[in-house]
Amino acid sequence: MADGCTADTGRLDLVVFSSLFPSAARPAAGLFIRERMFRVAQHRPLAVVSPQAWFPGQSLIRRLRPGYRPQAPAVEIQQGIRVYHPRFLSLPGLLRRLDGASMALCSFFLMRRLRREGARLIDAHFGYPDGDAATRLGRWLGLPVTLTLRGTEVPHSRNPVLRRQLVRALGAAARVFTVSGSLRQLALDLGVDASKTEVVGNGVDTHVFHPVDRAAARARFDLPDRAQVLISVGGLVERKGMHRVIDCLPPLMARHPDLHYLIVGGGGGEGDLRAELEAQVARLGLSGRVHFLGTLPPDALKWPLSAADVFVLATRNEGWANVFLEAMACGLPVVTTDVGGNAEVVCRDTLGSIVPFGDAAALQQALDAALDKNWDRAAIIDYAQANQWDKRVAQLLRAFDALLAVPASSVRSAPAAAGR
């Protein structure tokens, strides 16, 4: 992952704090965070601290599960920016509730050094454990903290122990960003003062995501010219729902006999269902119609997206799925589930359709209709172009500028609501 650039070792303004961030060990992890914050780095100097979960003996687990907690190098240089990967003690099971405190303790000396280099703000991503750790560090080091909610906070808010830690972190943050309106409402329900919340959705880079020649794209993946093609991009995990789409394929093929389905993605921290998905494909007699393309780098995704007709993600939970805008930038309508911020991205029927999660019949009907419809693909691309990263970054910079313009000791956060 190190790109050979020389790191900027001069003045720092802020530290990005997120355990999910691309590395040599996990190059596809947290790309949306890097996309956002490296654009901020063009205006405000920053470093990244991305703590890595560790416990003695986890290498033994990797003998059975090769992808379990791959360890990144201690330091990397990415696009000239320092990315640190301190290890923190994280025991599986119930003791994961200690991850926030452990992450903070194991990052303290590094963060203190970065503060001496000039860092005046911590920008954390995900409410727990990252936000919990970051707000502890902010308290110990006298630094304000901004916190972005990205979707994992929904299940965490239902866990009584994690809910308390989430409420505490939100209360201690100087500013709470959310990637969707639904997550902002969750923050308000958890007692956050509305005046310190702000929705900053993800964006899309239309220089990377744009249509390429359809015939050439299809030839690249051995797809017939006359095929109708669905595509999903995401981790091969239960939450993303590729298995739910595969279940719809046999009845869909009765009306669309040339139907093919592209799946882009691999395993990750939530697991790897590749073997189960392949078994499902074989059981349903879909061999040759479902194509597993593996994980692709961002600059290669325009090819399978341009080869497809409809993007689908039957997901269980999302904050703001970047991949929807990436698909739209390539001219694809989106069919997805009514969870998280999905309906805020696919906000009108000219962009796709939203179906209730878990309603297999509704998903099948929506896909059937999407395959039949003559979409205005130019209008879909225009919508994506109106949601480029530049607008999001300008919004973030305004918030960062306000916090960096005052001494850290002057920043006060609203208290967490008691009893929430």
Would you tell me how many other CB atoms lie within 10 Å of the CB of residue 181?
14
Residue 144: inside a domain:
yes
**225-239 mean pLDDT:** 94
* Whether residue 95 has pLDDT greater than 80: no
Among 204-208, 246-250, 320-324, 377-381, which is the least confidently predicted range? 320-324
Residues 221, 174, single domain; the answer is no
Residue 220: inside a domain:
yes
**Quick check: helix, strand or coil at residue 319?**
coil
Q: Which of 32, 4, 3 is nearest to 18 (CA)?
A: 32
CATH number at residue 169: 3.40.50.2000
Q: How far apart are CA 339 and CA 318, in angstroms?
A: 6
Residues 29, 76, single domain; the answer is yes
Max CA distance (Å), the chain: 66
Residues 170, 218, single domain; the answer is no
Query: Which amino acid would we find at residue 52?
Result: Q
Residues 260, 170, single domain; the answer is no
pLDDT band at 7; cut points 50, 70, 90: very low
Alpha helices, H only, 267-359:
274-283, 302-307, 322-329, 342-345
Residue 307: inside a domain:
yes
Q: What is the pLDDT of residue 96?
A: 74
Residue 94: inside a domain:
yes
Q: What is the pLDDT of residue 92?
A: 73
Residue 129, preceding peptide bond in cis (omega within 30° of 0): yes
Residue 112: inside a domain:
yes
Tell me which of 374 and 32 has the higher pLDDT: 374
Residues 174, 228, single domain; the answer is no
Q: Are strands 75-78 and 81-84 parallel, antiparallel or unpaired?
A: antiparallel
**Conformation bin of residue 142: beta by default, left when phi > 0, alpha when psi is -120 to 50:** left
**154-173 mean pLDDT:** 93
Q: What is the pLDDT of residue 418?
A: 32
Q: What is the pLDDT of residue 218?
A: 97
Residue 4: inside a domain:
no
The pair of three-digit structure tokens given for residue 300, joined into one six-digit string: 């290669």
Q: What is the pLDDT of residue 47?
A: 98
> Could you list the residue range(s) of the whole structural domain that residue 95 is in?
14-203+390-410
For 224-290, the DSSP string reads -TT-EEEEEES-SSGGG-HHHHHHHHHHHHHH-TTEEEEEE---BTTB--HHHHHHHHHHTT-TTTE
The residues pairing with 264 across neighbouring beta strands, listed in sequence order, are 233, 294
* Whether residue 413 has pLDDT greater than 90: no
* Whether residue 58 has pLDDT greater than 90: no
For the chain, the domain total comes to 2
Contacts of 178 (CB under 8 A, 6+ apart): 148, 149, 184, 186, 187, 197, 198, 199, 200, 319
Residues 252, 337, single domain; the answer is yes
* Whether residue 171 has pLDDT greater than 60: yes
Contacts of 195 (CB under 8 A, 6+ apart): none
pLDDT band at 3; cut points 50, 70, 90: very low
Residues 33, 100, single domain; the answer is yes
**73-89 mean pLDDT:** 95
Q: How many residues belong to the chain? A: 420
The pair of three-digit structure tokens given for residue 263, joined into one six-digit string: 């799946």
Residues 260, 155, single domain; the answer is no
Residue 246: inside a domain:
yes
For 45-76, the DSSP string reads -EEEE--EEE-TTHHHHHHHSTTSSPPPPSEE
Q: How far apart are CA 123 and CA 36, in angstroms?
A: 12
> What pTM, to 2 d.p., does this model score?
0.80
The pair of three-digit structure tokens given for residue 415, joined into one six-digit string: 């208290």
Residues 71, 32, single domain; the answer is yes
Residues 19, 77, single domain; the answer is yes
Per the CB < 8 A criterion, the answer to whether 88 and 53 are in contact is yes
Residues 157, 90, single domain; the answer is yes
Q: How far apart are CA 314 and CA 246, in angstroms?
A: 10
Residues 220, 151, single domain; the answer is no
Q: Which of 377, 370, 255, 350 is nearest to 310 (CA)?
A: 370
Tell me which of 294 and 95 has the higher pLDDT: 294
The pair of three-digit structure tokens given for residue 76, joined into one six-digit string: 């990397």
* Whether residue 184 has pLDDT greater than 50: yes
Q: What is the pLDDT of residue 10?
A: 60
Q: What is the pLDDT of residue 416?
A: 39
Residue 418: inside a domain:
no
Count of CA atoms in the C-beta half-sphere (13 A) of 100: 24
Contacts of 151 (CB under 8 A, 6+ apart): 179, 180, 183, 317, 318, 319, 320, 340, 341
